[in-house]
Each structure stands twice: as C-alpha cells, then as structure tokens.
Structure 1
Amino acid sequence: MRIFVLALEGLFDTGLAVTLDALGTANGLAARFAGGKPRFDVSVLGMRRTVRTSQGLTVPVTVVPPGVKPDWVIVPALRAVTPDTLIPALARKDVQEAKARLLRWHAEGASVAASCIGTFLLAEAGLLDGQEATTTWSMAPLFRQRYPRILLDESRMLVPSAVGVTAGAAMGHLDLALWLIRQASPEVASLVSRYLLADLRSAQAPYIIPNHLAQSDPLIRRFEQWARARLREGFSLDEAAEALGASPRTLQRRCTAVLGKSPLAYFQHLRVEHAQSLLHGSGLDVEAIAAEVGYADGATLRTLLRQRLGRGVRDLRAELR
C-alpha cells in the first residue's frame, strides 16, 4: 500500500510522528511475524522543499517521481487550537496548493484521510461534501458553520466514508493509523496495538467539554449558564428561550447550528457531565448524584452514563484511583 503523508508548515509534531511511528512499527512487525505483508510504502511530501513543524523541527520531505500515484493520502493536523489561528492558516498559499494536490490525487483514485485540524483541509477542498465526517471536538462549531454540507458527528473518533476516513482530536492520529493498518491486516493491527499500548477508541464523546463548545456563540454561552443553574429542574424550551430573550425557534436553530444537537440534548449532556464530575470527587452515592442532576433514580443515571460515555459508574470512579 503506497501512502503519501502530506506535511504542511507548522504542523502538529505529535500527529506526524505518531502516524509515521505506527506505520513503521507495522512494517517491522509484519516482516517478523506476518511474512512481510502488508507493506506500507510511506513517503512524506510537502508543498515546499523545507517544512518546519510547530516546534521548529525540520521535516525531511520526499520528492516523488512523476507518475507515482498513492493509494492513500494522509493529512496530519496543523497546530491551530482556536478559530483565530486556524482560519488564516487555511488561507495560506501552501495550503491552497495542498488542496489542489489533494483533489488531483483523489481524482486519480487515491483515498484521503485526516485527523484533527487536518480534516479542515479535506473540507476546504470539498472532498467531504455530502459525506459523514468527524473532526476535533473543540473546533466542531466552526466546522459545522463553515461546511454545512458535511454530515458532522464529532462524538465519533473515526468515520469512514466514500472518499476515505476522518478521525478526531490530536491523538486521533494514532486511531487513524491503526484503522488503516487494520484495513490491510487485522493481525498486524493487533500486534501494533499491543506493542504501542494503543487501542482503537470508538468515541470522542467522553472527552468533550461542553462549555468550551458553548463559547463560540454568545446565545449558546448564555444558554449554557442558564442550564447549569437548573440541572436539578425539568427542562422547558419555552422557559429557556424567554429567559434568554430569544424565541424557541431561534434557540433551537442556534443550538443545532453550533452544537449539532437540540437544546434538550445539550441540557442532558450537561447533566451527564456534572454527574461524571460528582462521581469523581464528591463522595456521594449514585442515588444522591442522580437527584443532584435531576434524575428520578440511580438506575436512570447509570443507564445514561453507559449510553453516552461507554462506561459504567464503577469504571468512572476507578479512573482516579
């Protein structure tokens, strides 16, 4: 499998390194335990002769001979943690050139893959229009507003589609690399996972910080503050809208546009987040925590925690031991 890794100026060092390390480990383990197959032929390409990472390291860039076509192109993330830094980066000349190169490779039959901020480059190129995708959860509001034709689900860690695959925040680079290895050989992917002490994660949901998402929109920020003060009470869309000086329709529309969920779903998300916090540090039993976040009993809370976080009460409490 021929893989091109597209390195751009100011990329996230760990994203590039973990991608190359996982694929390199796969080659080494395949040679020793699987008869040399599969073999990942990996080349790191750049739009310039020299590429420097966000930490100032120089990346050795390969010049690919004309006519060599990749099976996969991987786009590691740029190091941009806020919209104010990301939006100017997307307008850079080298990024625009990378978009054109991606479109050409895809037209020639290559699949495309990206993690974290790298997914924005695929979206900018229009490659994800009409496709399901994920991205780094912290930039999901911007992604959703900037690319309304993409079916975004930032709660998922990996989302395969007709054009390739997208992965979630920063360490999603490792999940992406393991996923690619698994497509070629589940046996080798299992070996790599064990050697690197890394498992595929199915979801970003347990890592999402709701109030970070709310900061991107003034109305949603005020809604979050209103909701947190009323977690023990029942939710009413009409009451929330009246308190915020907005119509129910406006609140519903802004929540969907910014958060990708209804006001009620976000309210429930905040309840689960607070319950998780109480499980970690309050010493309260499950019944008392359920009452604190507005649920009738502990059984309901247990079910919701497992559904939304993929872990039960015992697992969540064990995390801090």
Structure 2
Amino acid sequence: MFRQRYPNVTLDESRMIVNSTRFTTAGAALAHVDLALRIIRERSPALAALVARYLLVEARSSQAEFVIPDHLAHADPMVERFECWARRRLAQGFSLAEAASAAGTSERTLARRLQSVLGKTPLSYFQDLRVEHAVHLLRTGNASVDQVAAQVGYSDGVTLRALLRRKLGRGVRELRRGG
C-alpha cells in the first residue's frame, strides 16, 4: 500500500531505521523506540545502552524478524497462489516457470505483479519465505542447522548461517535463544 500511495519514495523494508541525507525514518509499531535510541546512540552509545536498560529494550540492529510477514500485508489472489505454491516447495527449490504456472499466469506477469504488490522479485520473496520458515524451525525445534537448512532447501548449514546473518543480522545461537 505504501508503494502504491508514494511511488516516488524508495522503501527499504530490510531495515527498521533508515538514514538518508535529510531524514531518518523508522517503521513498525514500536520502531519509534529504536529511532530514539539511534539518535541518542549517535551522541553517546553509553547513554543509549543505559536508556535501553531502563526501558527493558533488547539491543538489536534490526527488527526484521518482528516485521509482519509480507503475506499478511496483501490480498492479491495471484500473489496468494504464488505464495501457497512457494510454501509447499521451500525444500525443492525455485522455478519461475513452475511458479507462474501454479499462479495461473505468465512468468513476466508474475514478476511484475510481485514487484508492484510486494516490491520483490518472485525469487527474492521465495528466499524470504525460506528464511522465515528457518527462523521458525530454529526457535521451535532442536534440529541441527544442517537439518533445518535441508528442510528449507539449502544444501548446508553454512549457507543458511550466512543468509541469516545477512538478512537478519543474527546468528543461529541468537535466534535459538529468542534474541
């Protein structure tokens, strides 16, 4: 909805706090706390840590895993068909041709629709679903990282660890602890 309403604004969903030349913005319901701590941290990291302790706010660089998943933020039937297909195939891998067929459209139309509704390519959204499911498995089970990686379609735990670090800024131990 944001992209439709403000087409000239570049939306960066990967971070809760985004600095630009003239503005610093924050997203989500409690991101104003992160924004305030960010502003304080620029002047005094020690003061920001103290304020966070008093507010009982955990230290984090990203709230990415707390973001409402994209599938809750849209109601597009074609995107929903793609998502259902993708969730059933996380371990098998991605094929744009199969995805388009499952969504009942052409590859090009599927790519355009996901870009306009979610601001992502079909492959990027597929990978986000893999990460979302991996985080769930790590937090709710005790399977090894290699086992979780296999369940979400990665060849090994090393690949999954790197992806989690890149996308969420957290490692497996932090995720298992609920951090």
Matched to 1:146, the amino acid is R
Which structure has the higher relative contact order (CA within 8 Å, separation 6+)?
Answer: 2
Cα distance in structure 2, aligned partners of 1:184 and 1:174 = 16
Correspondence 1:305 to 2:157: no
Deviations, residues 140-189 of structure 1 (Å, cap 9, x unaligned): xx101111100001221111223322101111111222233345555644
- Does the residue aligned with 1:151 lie in a helix, a strand or coil? coil
Please give the residue correspondences for 1:306-321 in structure 2 after superposition, counting only pairs within 5 Å: 306-319=165-178
Match of 1:295 in 2: 154
1:178 paired residue number: 37
The range that moved more, 204-213 or 243-252, is 204-213
* TM-score (normalizing by structure 2): 0.87
C-alpha displacement of 1:248:
1.0
Q: Is the 8 A contact 1:231 1:271 kept in 2?
A: yes
Contact 2:14–2:167, Cα closer than 8 Å, also in 1: no
Say yes or no: does 1:253 pair with 2:115: no
| SS state at 2:123 partner | helix
Instruction: Please give the alpha-carbon distance, in whole angstroms, between the structure 2 residues aligned to 1:195 and 1:247.
Output: 54
Residues 210 and 270 in structure 1, CA contact (< 8 A), matched pair in contact too: no
The answer for the alignment partner of 1:235 in structure 2 is 94
Q: Looking at secondary structure, tell me which structure has more helix per residue.
A: 2
CA distance in 1, matches of 2:129, 2:88: 11
Percent same amino acid among aligned pairs? 58
Given that 1:290 and 1:296 are in contact with CA atoms closer than 8 Å, whether structure 2 keeps it comes out as: yes
Q: CA–CA distance in 2 between the matches of 1:190 and 1:277?
A: 29
Paired residue for 1:221? 80
* TM-score, normalised via structure 1 length: 0.51
Question: Do the aligned partners of 2:91 and 2:150 also contact (CA within 8 Å) in 1?
Answer: yes
RMSD across aligned C-alpha pairs, in angstroms? 2.1
Q: Is the 8 A contact 1:144 1:152 kept in 2?
A: yes
Aligned counterpart in structure 1 of residue 137 of structure 2, from 258, 278, 284: 278
Deviations 1:68-102 (A, max 9, x none): xxxxxxxxxxxxxxxxxxxxxxxxxxxxxxxxxxx
Specify the code of the residue in structure 1 equivalent to 2:176: R
Distance 1:185 1:314, change over 3 A: closer
Looking at structure 1, the residues matched to 143 and 49 of structure 2 have their Cα atoms a distance apart, in angstroms, of 39
Q: 1:204 to 1:260 in 2, by over 3 A?
A: farther
Cα 1:184/1:318, change in 2 over 3 Å: closer
Query: Equivalent residues in 2 for 1:1-321 (5 A)?
Result: 142-183=1-42, 188-198=47-57, 201-208=60-67, 209-213=69-73, 215-319=74-178
Counterparts of 1:183 and 1:313, CA distance in 2: 28
Shift of the 150–172 alpha-carbon distance from structure 1 to 2, 3 Å rule, reads same
* Count of aligned pairs between the two proteins: 178
Note the C-alpha offset of 1:199: 5.6
Larger Rg: 1
Contact 1:154–1:204 (8 Å) recurs in 2: no
Distance 1:177 1:229, change over 3 A: same
Query: Partners in 2 of 1:191 and 1:317 — Cα distance?
Result: 26
Distance 2:46 2:157 in 1: 41
Deviating above 6 A after TM superposition, structure 1's stretches of 4 or more consecutive aligned residues are none
